[in-house]
Structure formats: C-alpha cells, structure tokens
Amino acid sequence: MNLKVSHKEVPEFDVTAQDAIMDAFIEAIIIMDTDGSIERFNKAAENMFGYKANEAIGLDISILMPDPDGANHGRYVDRYLATREARIIGIGREMTARRKDGTMFPMHLAVGEVGWHGKVSFIGLIRDLTDDKLAEERRLRQATDMIAASRLATMGEMAAAIAHEINQPLAAIATYASAAERLLNAGPENTGDVKGALASVKAQAHRAGEIIRKLRSFVKPEVASLEVKDLQSVIEDIRSLAELDARANNIQLSIDVANNLPEIIADGVQIQQVILNLLRNGIDAMLDCDPDDRRLELHGYIASPDEVRVDVIDRGHGIPQSVRDSVFNPFFTTKTSGMGMGLAISQTIVKSHGGKLGFEDNPGGGTTFYVTLPTKVA
Amino acid sequence: MTDRQESVLIVDDDAAVRDSLSLLLKSVGIQSRAFSSGGEFLDAYQAEWAGCILLDIRMPGMSGMEVQRRLVERDCTLPIIFITGHGDIPMAVEAMHLGAHDFVQKPFHDQELLDRIQAALSANREQQDDIDLKRNVKERYETLTPREAEVMSAVVKGHANKVIAMDLDLSQRTVEIHRARVMEKMQVRSLAELVKLSVLLDS
C-alpha cells in the first residue's frame, strides 16, 4: 500500500482575519505579553470591561482586576515563567474582575500560552458569571426558605405529637383515680384494686413528667448559633416565602426594612422562624376580613440607639381583652387547627436573644406584634 | 328474649388507658374486655357480642376509623364510642357521620364517660330487643297456614270480613275463624297490635 502523506499548508490568517475571529467570540479575549501589557482586546472584552480596545492596549493587565490579584499579577506571571508551574494556565478559575468604572463582576478566567510573532504571550478567555451567580443565589435562597418552612412544619407536628402523648397518661391518671374513689366508696373489700390503681397513678404521673421534660428541651431552642447579622438580609431571605403565603391567602403584604440598620448578633434561622410565625399569625387573623382590608405590613427600623425593631401589623379583629394575658402561653390558641406553640416558642427565642416580643392594638383596629433585638455593641 | 352477656369492648393502644378504663368499669360493675389494636379486636370479634365498643380514634397501625369501616362491612351493630384527643374533633365528627354512636375526649370525666357508656349499652339493648322481637314475630308468622297468611294480609289492609270473604271466595264465617286463629297465633288481642307486628315484619 502506498501511503502518501501530503502536508497541506495551513493558510496564515492575516491580522484582520484574526481580529474578525476574535470579535466573533462571546467571551472576552485578551492577549498580553509576559510583562503584563495588554496587546489585544476583543469586542466582548470592550463590552465586559468598558474599555475601548485602543484604550486598553498597552495598559497593564492589573487594571482589570481588583487588588490583591491585580497588584500581585506581575509576580504570578514571573513565577510561572520561572517555575513553569501552572496556577491558572490550562486550568481556569473563578475570579473577580474590575470594570473601567470600578464596579466588580464575577468572571471565569482561562489562560493559555501562545507563541505570538515569535515571542511568548498569554491569552485569556473570560466569561462573565454575573447571571450564573444570580441564579445560584436564587437557588440558595429558595433552599433557605425551604429549610425555614420545614422547621416550622416540624415544630407544629412535634407539638401535636407531644400533646397527644401527654394526654395518654393524664387520661389514665384521671380514670384510675375515679375508679379508686368508686371502689373505696363501694366498700373495704376492694383495697387490693385501689392499691393497684394508686401505683398506676404514680407510674403514669412519672410518664407524664418524662414527656414534659422532652417538651422543655424542645421549646428551649437548641444552642443558638449566634452570628453577626444584618436584619435586612435576615428578613430578605424569607421575603419570597412570606409573599407566597400572603398571596395564597389573598393578603397584600408589604415588607419595608430600613437600610443600614445597625448589626445584630443573632441566630438568623431562629429570628426568621419568629418573623414567619408573626406573619403567619397576621395572615390567620385576617382570613375572615373583607379582601380589601387584608393588608399585612412588616416594618424594620431603629427603635433606639441600641435596639432594632420589627413591627408586624395586621388589620384583623384584634385580641380580645379576655385572652390578652394568655397569648404567649404554650398550647394557648384561638385557631381551630393551631397547636398554640408558635408565640410561646417565638417568645423563648426572642428572650434568648436579649430582646422582647410583645403586641399592641392599632388605633384603626387590628394588632401589631413587635420584636425588639439589641444591636451589636460596637 | 335472649340474655347475652354484655361487655364494653375497649380498643386502645395505650396499656395504661386500657387498664384504667377496665378498672373504672369494674368499679361500677360493668364487664369489659380490652384489646391493644384494631387488628386484635377484629380477629376476636364475634357477631353475637353485645355491649358497646370504646374505640381509640388515633392508633398506630390500623386507625379507629378503619376499624369502624371494617365493622360496618361485617354488619356489626354494636354502638361505637370514639376516644379522641386534642385536635381529633374533625375526625370524630366524620366518624359520627359514618354512624358512630358518640365520642369522648381524653382525659375523661368519669361520670360523663360512664353516662355515655350506659347510654350506648342501653341503645344496644334496645337494638337487640328489636332484633329479638322481630325474630320472634317472624317465628310466629311462620306458624300461619297459607290461607291464614292471606287473611292476615287482607285484615291489616283494613278490609272488612265480608270483603275478604268475597275476595278469597270463602264464607264470611270461615274468614272469621281464620281471623281468630291469626290473632291467636300472632299473640295479639287487637287489630292495632296486629298491624304493628305486620309493619315490623315488613321492615
């Protein structure tokens, strides 16, 4: 077999053709020399960074990166040239980029080494990750919402289970006691049965005590993971969940939290639990109101130099005088399906943060529940 | 009337609740039997049992409502009192719609519970009496000859002897004799009583 290998000449692209190809890329392409001086800058790079190619060419590559990457860039290149040890070349990584106007954006940067007119150059391909990052944040936020929602659901379910559990020994105790009473009244011949009943009463009382111990450890929030938090972002993270709940119940919800609130030290998830619970109560309070009056408001603001405050304002029927002292008691509820644990647990949480949970009547009807939280001592 | 041993059938997964209820019933002289699950109760259940069922609505495994459904399938007529806890009211209401006799909430008020049990027991007794009476009347009816049965059905429709005689092609005297035999065999003294029994037979 006669194998004839023909070497076909690859036509050289002239500079104009190269420019055309580079400009067709969606990704920014930047070529620089070993000193970090920009040699080529395509259309996409112009759009992404805000520099015109003729402005950028000749400038140092570090202008496109915030410090410390920008300041260190020269050293990175020198190290590579000296050691041939690739930190980024051929690997690519996510970094922050700086536009001409100083704003930042997340980018993915891939770097290759090219022979360019007989000398070594580096070619960088850059993808703008802004949209990807936004999508990721959204996913994260939704996940947080789900966690908060499921914690609330678990709280309700656990409370229901505990209520059922505690009812069992109580029912047995009451029944044993009345049986013993009747047996005693019937005559002395029943002493054996009465003794048995009393022993059972004792055992069942201990059983009830055991359940209450479990309940205590449940109501007492687990060791809070306290962090420096900004109330606005804590509330922002549950906004979509709260809005969903409000929409589902035909309620107009407005959430308005002041900017630049002083930071608090808090377990963000617990505070979210409290606020979601207050919003939930507000929604429940207005379910039988005229649809036009179903307005729920949340305001977050500075109450005093060392306190931030959240008000949850409903336009419901208010809290009747007769139950005002009971609303924070465990198992107190005015709802047909509630367990009466929401406000009790919320109060425990707020107190453990050194804050206060309370309520007051609105002048125009309805109730405002408020949470105050101490601000971080500077 | 048959005399059957009546007892309260307790179905609850909680041993202490079962035991305390048995003792309470014992203290007022009511017999009881306890079962720790719906399955155990259904396995043991006999159609001739009399009394009432105290049935926990919330049990692991087979729920009280499921036990009720299966008892209905087996034509069980024992009154069911559901034992309910916090938050079970909607379920209890549904159970009532499905024919439950009553429901009580845990923890129990002893007198209230006993009153309700007594009410269920007497409802079952009345029901049982009805069933017994019906069976008894049916037995009496079956002693009638075909001709006597024909006469009875005409009599309870309010037809006069003369009309009956003509309809059945008998002499008026013969109708009178049949009629007297019907009254005797059905053990009644008046037409009104006979009509009542005939209504019972048709029901």
pLDDT at residue A217 above 80? no
pLDDT at residue A372 above 90? yes
Q: Considering CB atoms only, which of A170, A179, A203 is closest to B27? A: A179
The answer for residues whose C-beta is within 8 angstroms of residue A319's C-beta and 6 or more apart is: A327, A359, A361, A367
As for how many domains chain B has, the answer is 2
What are the pLDDT digits (tens) for A138-164?
666 665 555 555 555 556 656 666 777
- List chain A residues with CB under 8 Å of B28: 182
What are the pLDDT digits (tens) for B66-94?
999 999 999 898 999 999 876 677 888 88
pLDDT at residue A238 above 60? yes
**Closest approach of B125 to chain A, Cα-based (Å):** 25
Residue A265, CB-side half-sphere exposure with 13 Å CA sphere: 10
**pLDDT in the model for residue A178:** 92
- List chain A residues with CB under 8 Å of B20: 171-173, 175-176, 179, 197, 200
* Residues of A contacting chain B (CB within 8 angstroms): 160, 163-164, 167-176, 178-180, 182-183, 186, 190, 193, 196-197, 200, 203-204, 207, 337, 339
**pLDDT in the model for residue B120:** 95
Domain coverage including residue B164: 143-202
B16 touches chain A (CB under 8 A): yes
Assign B1 a pLDDT band (cuts: 50, 70, 90).
Answer: very low
Whether B1 is covered by a domain: the verdict is: no
Residue among A314, A235, A322, A218 nearest A273 (CA): A235
User: What CATH number does the domain containing B82 carry?
Assistant: 3.40.50.2300
What mean pLDDT is predicted for residues A355-359? Answer: 94
Whether B137 is covered by a domain: the verdict is: no
Residue among A208, A335, A164 nearest B84 (CA): A164
Whether domain A138-219 has CATH 1.10.287: the reply is yes
Q: Considering CB atoms only, which of A169, A183, A193 is closest to B16? A: A169
**Closest approach of A204 to chain B, Cα-based (Å):** 8
In whole numbers, what is the pLDDT of chain A averaged over residues? 81
Angle (nearest 5°) at CA A65 between A64 and A69: 145
Residues B111 and B163 in one domain: no
The whole-angstrom separation of Cα A65 and Cα A88 is 15
Task: Report helix angle A130-186 to A191-219, nearest 10.
Answer: 160
What CATH number was assigned to the domain covering residues A15-128?
3.30.450.20
C-alpha dist (Å) from residue A263 to A192, A231, A293, B142: 67, 7, 34, 93
Residues B34 and B87 in one domain: yes
Contact B20, A175 (CB under 8 A): yes
Q: How far does Cα A173 stand from its chain's mean position? A: 46
**Closest approach of B53 to chain A, Cα-based (Å):** 17
The complex's ipTM works out to 0.70
Whether B138 is covered by a domain: the verdict is: no
The whole-angstrom separation of Cα B102 and Cα B53 is 10
User: What CATH number does the domain containing B163 carry?
Assistant: 1.10.10.10
What are the pLDDT digits (tens) for A105-130?
888 888 888 775 677 888 888 888 88
Q: Which residue has the higher pLDDT, A292 or B135?
A: B135
Domains in chain A: boundaries: 15-128, 138-219, 227-374
List the beta bridge partners of residue A119. Answer: A116
What are the pLDDT digits (tens) for A1-33?
444 555 555 566 677 777 788 888 888 999 888
Residues B123 and B157 in one domain: no
pLDDT at residue A328 above 70? yes
Q: Considering CB atoms only, which of B16, B21, B27 is closest to A168? A: B16
- Give all strands of the β-sheet with B32-35 in edge-to-edge order: B32-35, B6-11, B50-56, B80-84, B102-105
What are the pLDDT digits (tens) for B154-178?
999 989 999 999 999 999 999 999 9
**Closest approach of A356 to chain B, Cα-based (Å):** 30
B17 touches chain A (CB under 8 A): yes
What are the pLDDT digits (tens) for A264-317?
988 888 898 899 889 988 988 898 888 778 899 999 999 988 999 999 999 998
When scoring A178, A195, A331 by the number of chain B Cβ atoms within 10 A, the one with the most, hence best to mutate, is A178
Task: Give chain B's largest Cα–Cα span.
Answer: 74
Percent of chain A past pLDDT 70, that is, above it, reads 78
Name the CATH code of domain A227-374 (choices 3.40.1050.10, 3.40.50.300, 2.60.40.10, 3.30.565.10): 3.30.565.10
